[in-house]
Structure 1
Amino acid sequence: MQSSLKKIGNSAGVLIPKPLLAEIGAKAGDSIDLTVENGRIVMELVAKVPRAGWAEASKRLASEGDDELVWPEFANEGDDELTW
């Protein structure tokens, strides 16, 4: 597929056809990483932030009363003698 460079202020933009974005699992609005390798511009989808949404999920679980420990607390021998 071919496209053309469009002037955007002091920069340039390229319209990327939807089928090419789909091949890397990207859609409009996603973050991408651009690098240059061997004279080529390489575009990669930025990985999702690890643990994104965990804080909200834990708050929801707590509000529903479903936040009990699955395993009991594990104490180490001598923990009761520690001073902080």
Structure 2
Amino acid sequence: MKANIINIGNSQGIILPAVLLRKLNLSLKSTVQIKIDNGVIVIKPEPRQGWAEAAKQMHAASDDELLLGDFPTEFDKEEWTW
């Protein structure tokens, strides 16, 4: 796939085709890491995007309870002093 470098304000850039963005599950305002590796430009999605918002929504829906409750260990039973 080819792309041309274009002017974007006072900078230059490329337009990423929508098909590539969909394959990487990226959308407008997604954060990516950009680096040069052996003369090649590498664009890599930032991990865990959207997790903070998803956690807030889970909490609002009371869907963030522990799957397993607290349970005592041998340390708690024998060694821990209250």
* TM-score, structure 1 normalization: 0.60
Q: Which runs of 4+ in 1 moved over 6 A?
A: none
Residue equivalent to 1:17: 17
Q: Separation in 2 of the partners of 1:6 and 1:72?
A: 57
- Structure having the higher Rg: 1
Amino acid at match of 1:74: P
Matched residue of 2:19: which SS?
A: helix
Bigger share in helix: 2
* TM-score, structure 2 normalization: 0.61
Identity %: 22
Q: Separation in 1 of the partners of 2:32 and 2:13?
A: 14
Distance 1:43-1:74 versus aligned 2 partners, 3 A rule: same
Instruction: Report the CA distance between 1:36 and its aligned residue.
Output: 0.7
Gaps of at least 5 residues in structure 2 are: none
Residue equivalent to 1:54: 55
Q: Is the 8 A contact 1:33 1:43 kept in 2?
A: yes
Distance 1:58-1:24 versus aligned 2 partners, 3 A rule: closer
Tell me the matched-pair count: 78
- Mapping for residues 1-80 of structure 1, pairs under 5 Å: 1-49=1-49, 52=52, 53-61=54-62, 67=65, 70-74=68-72, 76=76, 77-79=78-80
